[in-house]
């Protein structure tokens, strides 16, 4: 699985003009299930993100996790993280899991992140979404498992 993690002071996702999920302070997690991914990879990614120390402590060092600060996460599915741009000008997305598998792994990942004590709100799988955020730092981390 692949994720782009952003430390945020706030983030929200809107569908058809209505905010359907929000967070802050905490994490915006854009996540993509890739071909060959399974529940074990989703669990590993969730565990890693829950413990990722990217929040600052009293000495202004990145030593705290989202769990440590009592933060939450907004988890948004984003198959475009699977983009292959090596040839031509139009990205290919064949490395992404098929939609049914992607949805199941996205939902499993979100439940696993919750099981690690991180409150989560979500976007809507497959929907056209508008994501707003205030990146804190900025801190943006790319992660593959």
Task: Please give the Cα distance from 86 to 93 (Å, whole number).
Answer: 12
Residues 6, 79, 110, 122: which is the catalytic one? Answer: 79
80 is catalytic: yes
Residues 6, 23, 78, 110: which is the catalytic one? Answer: 78
Task: Please give the Cα distance from 74 to 24 (Å, whole number).
Answer: 8
Which tokens sit at 106?
């996205």
Q: What do you get for the CA distance between the two ends of the chain, in Å? A: 6
14 is catalytic: no
Residues 35, 80, 130, 134: which is the catalytic one? Answer: 80
55 is catalytic: no
Give the residue numbers annotated as catalytic, written as ranges: 78-80
């Amino acid at each position: 699985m692949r994720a782009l993690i952003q430390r945020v002071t706030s983030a929200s996702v809107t569908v058809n003009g209505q905010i359907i999920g929000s967070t802050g302070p905490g994490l915006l997690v854009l996540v993509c299930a890739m071909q060959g991914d399974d529940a074990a990879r989703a669990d590993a990614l969730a565990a890693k993100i829950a413990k990722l120390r990217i929040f600052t402590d009293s000495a202004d060092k990145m030593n705290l996790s989202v769990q440590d600060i009592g933060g939450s996460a907004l988890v948004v599915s984003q198959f475009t993280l699977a983009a292959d741009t090596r040839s031509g000008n139009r990205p290919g997305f064949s490395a992404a899991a098929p939609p049914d598998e992607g949805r199941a792994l996205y939902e499993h990942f979100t439940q696993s992140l919750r099981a690690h004590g991180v409150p989560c709100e979500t976007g809507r799988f497959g929907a056209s979404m508008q994501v707003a955020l205030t990146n804190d730092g900025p801190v943006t981390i790319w992660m593959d498992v």
